[in-house]
Amino acid sequence: MYVKASTRKTRDGQTIRYLQLAHNEWDPAAKASKTRVLYSFGREDQLDVAGIRRLVDALSRLLAPADALAAAAPAGLSFVESRSLGGAWLLDGLWRRLRIDTVLRPLVGSSRREVDVERVLFALVANRALAPSSKLAAADWVCQDVYLPDLPHVTDDTCYRAMDQLIEVEPALTRGVYDQIADLLNLEVDLLFFDTTSTYFELDEADEPLWRDQQGRVVAEDDPAAVKQAGFRTHGKSKDSRDDLPQVVVGMAVTRTGIPVRVWCWPGNTSDSALIRQVKTDMREWSLARVVWVADRGFASAENRRFLQQGGGHYILGEKLRAGTSEADAALARQGRYATVAENLQVKEVNIDTDDRFVICYNPEAADRDAAVRQRLIAQLTDLIDDTDRLPATKRAELRGVISTKPGLNRFLRVTPKGLLRLDQAKVKAEQRLDGKYLLRCSDPTLSAEDIALGYKQLLEVERGWRDMKTTLDLRPVFHRREDRIRAHILLCWLALLLIRVAETETGRTWTAIRTEIDRLHLGVFTGPAGTFAQRTELSQPQKALLTKLKIAEPPRIFDATPATA
């Protein structure tokens, strides 16, 4: 397919050129190639240049970015390579807009003048958000696959040295980043949500024990606070159901809008119950205004509650309904009507003789799911124990042992004094009372029951953060064995999550959709007798809209022009 030019002369002798889009086809009858005109553009001097440009842009969108650049290459130039530009440009724009670069640069400096540590750390953060990989693969990604402003080349050794500097400045970095984003994004920190997760390692053996302080930090053996504790990667209760492998515990504090403000990590055998006290102590140094801490049932111990109220603080904590505590039993026994606060949420505040307030939340949809699951479990259990009265006692004991390994079924099993297996009807009725319900404990006397319930419901933002950490950002596998570098890796994941959550909040789109759209923007490199230059693909309207919403300038059309040397 090509553009065919034909000429004609007018009566006054003027030569007029006409342009046509033509295609050569083989004529089997004539056994020759014939020209077929597909479209006539008309007179060359009256050509609709704007219309042709729109046509070329429309056709280019059907091609891969590299192919579109190659197709539009000027005559006499060779298309050398294409690199992804859009994702890195967007993230770098957010990085600079949030002033993370101005916080980080004076902290890390540069041990070698030719290496900009701030740019290397940004590259590692961008890699987590765009193409998560090991640091060795990330260095190759920077050098071969992506265009990063002011960082044409990096090595894996440079990446490791930058990570070592990052973990050294963690306290100042996290405080500085918070100060910047709190002002720029007008963060609401009246509620802070905290939760933990774990990530495991494919290891045969856990790390050797080390001397640590109460916060789990490594200290010298002669330090007054030193206690011999487990290594960093060690066995514990895994939230990924991999108790067989060593792990580390990771904690995160998130605002009500889903912005992660800080991240922590501890040895893998650290229990949840004491962690929130360390978190509050660390956050106290930030001189935050009055804060209500929101956490799930794992943090609701009496010691934690007392600690969270120090300094005028308050809490909203989940309370275990099935624990059989006096507070839970008293709350369920109280009568009263539920008030609907959302389409799938009803609340009822109950008065108990304690200083805390208790709110029972009821979700009708969750109640239906709980009932359906219970009916399925009861049917399975009934099938297992039917006609077991005729079995010998040893066989019934064996079956009892098998059922004890299945918590869902074992919950509804009752064994009579004679060893007979029965369905526990009392347990079934007790569970029916709990369908779709959960109990909240709050120390703040000024919050309404609706605010307490909706505030706790926003704890899902932390869970969404963990989900993105483990999937979109590939928190694991962690390609590090040293404790400081594992901590640095988690810090990089936090910074990446911060950037993508800001992008999602301000555009109203998921990061997956944003990344897919903006990554179509590429930078092509062309070379010819006059030299080499780099040019980006045309910005689409969706790409322009994303950059506008995020207050990021459009990348220039031409990035680099290097004349050929004689």
Summarize pLDDT for 233-262 with one digit per residue, the tens.
Answer: 999 989 888 999 999 999 998 888 888 999
| Predicted confidence (pLDDT) per residue in 30-63, tens digit | 778 888 887 787 787 777 777 766 666 666 666 6
Residue 216, pLDDT score: 73
Strand partners, 27: 32
* Cβ-defined contacts of 559-563 (< 8 Å, 24+): 559/147, 559/523, 559/533, 559/534, 559/535, 560/532, 560/533, 560/534, 561/531, 561/532, 561/533, 561/534, 562/531, 562/532, 562/533, 563/530, 563/531
The answer, yes or no, to whether residue 78 has pLDDT greater than 80, is no
pLDDT at 75: 53
Cα-based distances in Å from 220 to 212, 213, 282, 378, 486: 8, 9, 21, 56, 20
Kindly indicate the confidence band of residue 72, based on its pLDDT and cuts at 50, 70 and 90.
low
Tens of pLDDT, residues 178-197: 988 887 777 777 778 888 99
Q: Which residue is listed with tokens 């206690």?
A: 227
pLDDT average, residue stretch 321-343: 84
Tens digits of residue pLDDT in 146-167: 998 788 889 999 999 999 999 9
Q: How far is CA 195 from CA 131, 159, 191, 203, 296, in A?
A: 26, 30, 13, 26, 7
pLDDT at residue number 156: 92
Q: With 80 as the cut, is the pLDDT of residue 81 above it? A: yes
Render pLDDT for 537-546 as a digit per residue (tens, 0 to 9): 889 899 999 9
Return the SS3 of 338. Answer: coil
Read off the pLDDT of each residue in 325-340 and give the average, rounded to a whole number: 86
Instruction: Please name the residue that has the structure tokens 């479990």.
Output: 377
Most confident of 258-272, 332-346, 451-465, 509-523: 509-523
Mean pLDDT within 374-401? 93
| pTM across the whole model | 0.79
Measured between alpha carbons, how far is residue 525 from residues 57, 61, 91 in Å?
Answer: 19, 19, 22
- Phi, psi at residue 13, to the nearest 5°? 90, 5
Task: Among 343-357, 454-468, 471-485, 540-554, name the most confident range.
Answer: 540-554
- Supply the pLDDT for residue 457: 85
The sign of the CA dihedral 494, 498, 503, 504 is positive
The span from the CA of 461 to the CA of 455, in Å, is 11
Q: Which residue has the higher pLDDT, 72 or 548?
A: 548
121 closest CA partner among 78, 93, 77, 158:
158
Give one DSSP letter per residue of 450-492, joined into a string: HHHHHHHHTTHHHHHHHHHHHTTS---S----SHHHHHHHHHH
Q: Is the pLDDT score of 69 beyond 60?
A: no
Chain centre to alpha carbon of residue 541: 26
The contacts of residue 50 (CB under 8 Å, 6+ apart) are none
Mean pLDDT of 443-472: 87
CA dist., res. 352 & res. 347, Å (int)? 16
Question: Which of 304, 296, 194 shows the shortest CA–CA distance to 253?
Answer: 194
- Specify which residues 533 forms β-bridges with: 526, 561
Question: Tokens standing for 226?
Answer: 């030193």
Alpha carbon 495 to its chain centroid, in Å, reads 10
Q: At residue 529, does pLDDT exceed 80?
A: no
Give me the residue spans of the domains in the chain.
1-47, 51-83+521-566, 365-432
Q: pLDDT at residue 29 above 60?
A: yes
Mean pLDDT of the chain: 86
Across 526-535, average pLDDT: 80
Tell me the CA distances in angstroms from 179 to 117, 187, 242, 498, one per residue in order: 22, 10, 37, 14
The pair of three-digit structure tokens given for residue 515, joined into one six-digit string: 């990344």
* 70 pLDDT tier (thresholds 50, 70, 90): low
Looking at the predicted structure, is the pLDDT value of residue 566 above 70? Answer: no
The reported pLDDT for the residue numbered 320 is: 83
Alpha-carbon distance of 545 to 549, in angstroms, equals: 6
- On the question of pLDDT at 547 being above 90, the answer is yes
**Any idea which of 134-138, 212-216, 392-396 has the lowest mean pLDDT?**
212-216
| pLDDT for residue 113 is more than 60 | no
pLDDT(114) > 70: no
Q: Is the pLDDT of residue 286 over 90?
A: no
* Residue whose structure tokens are 């500097």: 165
Q: Within 13 Å and on the Cβ side, how many CA atoms surround 292?
A: 21
Q: What is the pLDDT of residue 160?
A: 94
